[in-house]
């Protein structure tokens, strides 16, 4: 089946950076400091350790990306190098759990920042209704014009780096980084490192997540066997550098304890101090564009996943979902509509877990969100593919020993570290059961169809 090659190397890079650098770093920094008891140096250490999962994970996936450019990304990798049943299980996880839960949470975060921008306190327009509007717009943009969605992804990545760079520079210049980090080092020597910091991997996993989604458009990337691996190698390094500099800049300028007290509002506080109320509004607009870039990038991947399953007959209504609309430049319209409905269902679930039904107290309010567990468990799926790379190396198909052995082993270690961060979530066991049920359903659905 022929596919239009709409995207180049730059869009591939901006998709990864644009999805990963989004809402997470802006509203999870305070969570990281909570688990490190306000120790910035430990926070930097956690970021660097967590980056092992994405850097070595990307390097590992680049080995598979050079060997196939079939639609589906992780689905096609599992199909070609494991078996079709496992590919179906991975696909169901992506379509019914992983991608829609991320879109639901990040669009809600966009609503929070939009409310801050316009000083909306209560009423019909709140973070949830605005979040639904954001979802609708992103689906419309990426369905009606894939190229426009790609252009927005390129632009939003450049724009979103502006506040990160500015906050990092001003924080390091106007703050006292040497004094703060020296105090943190002394604190580590005196009190040691508590195992409680492992919980910080949960929010950091959210901040680093999304890189794998770029593989979902591999069949629409020009010269994808060259460009996608390059994007998977370049992007993580840029992301880690931006994250560490931003985290240190904000934590030092605002003060670790103030960040803990202000929570998600610490960004707004720093912008107000540096640039005044007008400048703070402008910076907040940059942050909003950054968050919208994440929603757009995940949506760009999500609308193609039902289609990727359908062309393999791995999902109900496959004949309908794999239809391509010639008027929309080959866009699988039914796949996009299906993805939209699943995303709205997750948005409703997110609302219930945050706000509750009758008592206005959700079971996850202040304790996380519906996407964190799916994100952490997704790394278990990646480990299956990392083992595949080790097997390819043992067969002699990957000649470079570093890429064939060291890289996948480090990726597995990083993935297990990320997974450990989800254990503190009060609903971990329930989410794990749900994830397993969905993947088992996907596995046996294809097995029975076959």
As a whole number of angstroms, the distance between CA 359 and CA 256 comes to 33
Nearby residues of 317 by Cβ (< 8 Å), 6 or more positions away: 310, 334, 338
Separation in Å, CA 326 to CA 4, 134, 137, 144: 11, 26, 22, 11
Instruction: Check whether 246 has a pLDDT greater than 50.
Output: yes
Instruction: Check whether 220 has a pLDDT greater than 70.
Output: no
More confident residue, 278 or 18: 278
More confident residue, 133 or 278: 133
Instruction: Check whether 365 has a pLDDT greater than 70.
Output: no
What local confidence, expressed as pLDDT, does residue 203 receive? 67
Average pLDDT over residues 321-335: 84
What local confidence, expressed as pLDDT, does residue 374 receive? 78
Per cent of the chain over pLDDT 70 is 83
Q: Report the range of poorest mean pLDDT among 68-72, 113-117, 174-178.
A: 68-72
What local confidence, expressed as pLDDT, does residue 225 receive? 66
Model-level pTM greater than 0.85? Answer: no
More confident residue, 16 or 106: 106
Average pLDDT over residues 422-449: 85
As a whole number of angstroms, the distance between CA 252 and CA 240 comes to 18
pLDDT band, very low/low/confident/very high, at 353 (cuts 50, 70, 90): confident
Nearest alpha carbon to residue 428 among 376, 356, 351? 376
As a whole number of angstroms, the distance between CA 354 and CA 232 comes to 34
Average pLDDT over residues 82-91: 94
Identify whether the C-beta of residue 208 lies closer than 8 Å to the C-beta of residue 376.
Answer: no
Instruction: Check whether 2 has a pLDDT greater than 50.
Output: no
Q: Report the range of poorest mean pLDDT among 80-94, 262-276, 330-344, 417-431.
A: 417-431
> Could you write out the three-class secondary structure of 54-75?
HHHHHHHHHHHHCCCCCCCCHH
Rounded to the nearest 5°, which phi and psi values hold at 418?
-60, -45
More confident residue, 31 or 83: 83
Identify whether the C-beta of residue 414 lies closer than 8 Å to the C-beta of residue 429.
Answer: no
Average pLDDT over residues 215-236: 70
Instruction: Check whether 313 has a pLDDT greater than 80.
Output: yes
Average pLDDT over residues 288-298: 84
What local confidence, expressed as pLDDT, does residue 149 receive? 65
Nearby residues of 444 by Cβ (< 8 Å), 6 or more positions away: 85
As a whole number of angstroms, the distance between CA 340 and CA 335 comes to 9
Q: Pull the structure tokens for residue 192.
A: 């040691």
Identify whether the C-beta of residue 350 lies closer than 8 Å to the C-beta of residue 359.
Answer: no
Instruction: Check whether 450 has a pLDDT greater than 80.
Output: no
What local confidence, expressed as pLDDT, does residue 1 receive? 46
As a whole number of angstroms, the distance between CA 171 and CA 251 comes to 8
pLDDT band, very low/low/confident/very high, at 206 (cuts 50, 70, 90): low
> Could you write out the three-class secondary structure of the chain?
CCCCCCECHHHHHHHHHHHHCCCHHHHHHHHHHHHCCCCHHHHHHHHHHHHHHHHHHHHHHHHHHCCCCCCCCHHHHHHHHCCHHHHHHHHHHHHHHHHHHHHHHHHHHHHHHHHHHCCCCCCCCCHHHHHHHHHHHHHHHHHHCHHHHHHHHHHHHHHHHHHHHHHHHHHHHHCCHHHHHHHHHHHHHHHCCCHHHHHHHHHHHHHHCCHHHHHHHHHHECCHHHHHHHHHHHHHHHHHHHHHHHHHHHHHHHCHHHHHHHHHHHHHHHHHHHHHHHHHHHHHHHHHHHHHHHHHHHHHHHCCHHHHHHCCCCCCCHHHHCCCEHHHCCECHHHHHHHHHHHHHHHHHHHHHHHCCCCCCCCCCCCCCCCHHHHHHHHHHHHHHHHHHHHHHHCCCCCCHHHHHHHHHHHHHHHHHHHHCCCCCCCHHHHHHHHHHHHHHHHHHHHHHC
Nearby residues of 117 by Cβ (< 8 Å), 6 or more positions away: 281, 284, 285, 288
Average pLDDT over residues 167-174: 85
Q: Pull the structure tokens for residue 8.
A: 């180049």
What local confidence, expressed as pLDDT, does residue 340 receive? 97
More confident residue, 274 or 28: 274
Q: Report the range of poorest mean pLDDT among 7-16, 83-92, 310-319, 342-351.
A: 7-16
**What domains sit in the chain, N to C, each tagged with a CATH number?**
9-449 (1.20.1740.10)
Q: What is the mean pLDDT of the chain?
A: 81
Alpha carbons within 13 A on the beta-carbon side of 151: 5
More confident residue, 357 or 388: 388
């Amino acid at each position: 089946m022929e596919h239009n090659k709409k995207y180049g190397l730059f869009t591939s890079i901006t998709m990864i950076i644009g999805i990963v650098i989004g809402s997470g770093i802006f509203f999870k920094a305070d969570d990281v400091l909570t688990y490190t008891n306000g120790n910035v140096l430990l926070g930097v250490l956690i970021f660097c350790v967590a980056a092992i999962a994405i850097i070595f994970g990307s390097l590992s996936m680049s080995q598979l990306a050079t060997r196939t450019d079939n639609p589906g990304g992780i689905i096609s990798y599992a199909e070609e190098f494991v078996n079709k049943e496992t590919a179906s299980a991975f696909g169901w996880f992506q379509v019914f759990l992983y991608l829609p839960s991320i879109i639901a949470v990040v669009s809600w975060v966009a609503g929070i920042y939009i409310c801050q921008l316009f000083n909306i306190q209560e009423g019909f327009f709140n973070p949830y209704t605005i979040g639904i509007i954001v979802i609708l717009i992103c689906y419309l943009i990426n369905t009606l014009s894939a190229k426009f969605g790609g252009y927005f992804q390129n632009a939003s990545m450049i724009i979103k780096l502006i506040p990160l760079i500015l906050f990092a520079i001003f924080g390091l210049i106007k703050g006292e980084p040497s004094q703060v980090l020296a105090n943190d080092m002394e604190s580590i020597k005196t009190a040691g490192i508590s195992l409680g910091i492992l919980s910080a991997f949960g929010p950091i996993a959210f901040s680093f997540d999304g890189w794998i989604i770029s593989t979902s458009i591999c069949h629409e990337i020009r010269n994808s066997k060259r460009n996608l691996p390059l994007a998977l190698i370049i992007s993580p390094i840029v992301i880690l550098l931006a994250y560490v500099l931003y985290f240190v800049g904000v934590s030092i300028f605002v003060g670790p304890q103030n960040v803990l007290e202000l929570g998600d509002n610490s960004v707004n506080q720093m912008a107000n101090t540096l640039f005044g109320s007008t400048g703070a509004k402008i910076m907040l607009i940059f942050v909003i564009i950054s968050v919208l870039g994440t929603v757009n990038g995940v949506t760009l991947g999500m609308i193609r996943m039902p289609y990727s399953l359908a062309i393999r007959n791995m999902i109900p209504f496959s004949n309908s979902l794999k239809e391509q609309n010639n008027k929309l430049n080959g866009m699988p319209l039914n796949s996009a509509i299906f993805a939209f409905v699943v995303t709205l269902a997750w948005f409703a679930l997110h609302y219930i877990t945050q706000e509750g039904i009758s008592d206005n107290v959700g079971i996850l309010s202040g304790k996380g969100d519906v996407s964190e567990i799916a994100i952490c468990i997704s790394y278990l799926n990646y480990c299956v593919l990392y083992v595949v790379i080790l097997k390819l190396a043992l067969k002699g198909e990957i000649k470079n020993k570093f890429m064939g052995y060291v890289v996948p082993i480090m990726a597995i270690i990083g993935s297990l570290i990320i997974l450990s961060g989800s254990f503190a979530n009060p609903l971990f066991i329930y989410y794990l059961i749900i994830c397993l049920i969905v993947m088992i359903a996907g596995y046996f659905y294809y097995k029975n169809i076959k």
